[in-house]
Copies of this chain bind each other. A is one copy, B any other.
Amino acid sequence: MSYKIALIGSGNVARSLSVAFEDAGHFITEVYSRDIKNARRLAEKCYDAKATDQLDFRQSKASIFIVAVNDDAIEDILSHIHLPQESVIAHTSGTCGIEVFSFFFTHAGVFYPLQSFSPNRRINWNQVPICMEATSSHADTILEGLASSISHHLVYLDSQQRKRLHLGAVLTSNFSNHLLYKTQEFLDEHDLDFSLLKPLIAETLSKALELGPENTQTGPAIRGDMKTIREHLLLLEEDKDLQGIYQLLTESILKRRS
């Protein structure tokens, strides 16, 4: 089944979705952005898409509207958009609940791809979990067809569960990235090369994902090695921010021992 899809938004998620949809044989009819230049930039990369900064889609040929914008812009978009009859609209947010679609939208839903998207990186869409929710069986059928055309990994979650999953994404991905950032900052200050840690970080993560993080905890805290912990806290004396993080995470790991 080939769908005609309008993309509302032109950021990383919209861009990556446009590639996935076209690769799966669908057509992008329009790309909307508040800034027409951004809309054009993405539309030009599509097979035959029109750029627009207007939210009146009553004459559009699209039957699916994917709202891939920042969370805080969704409500505003929904309060201004006009859709063709019987079309399906979905947003791609992990945190925004399905209740954002008021009763004006008969066929609506959520289409949340649980992945991190960046320019110039191609994703293996097949493995991206797509978390779905719908307000009507028609929307459900259409969105499921669309999701299964780009990924093997479909998950039905209500808005509360999706929020929890998104929180899990923040705890693991965003916070791990920040730990790398703070560590790099600390090593830089002492003329140490952060890249020395890369093989270790890669192996640790691949091991945790393969064997389960409950089986792969190492380090002074899980060993209860208070001597090393005290030395580390001293080494961080000049970076109170990082010292606080070290202390709290160490205390949390120590609790696993009791």
Contact = CB atoms under 8 A, between A and B. Distances in A.
Contact of A116 (B123, B203, B241): B203
Interface in A173-206: 173-184, 186-187, 190, 192, 194, 196-206
B242 A114 contact: no
Copies in the complex: 2
Interface residues of A, number: 89
A211 B180 CA distance: 12
Contacts of A219: 169-170, 173-174
A253 interface: yes
Q: Which of A198, A204, A220, A256 has the most CB of B within 10 A?
A: A204
A37 interface: no
Interface stretch (A2-10, A54-62, A136-144, A224-232): A224-232
A36 interface: no
A235 B167 contact: yes
A81 interface: no
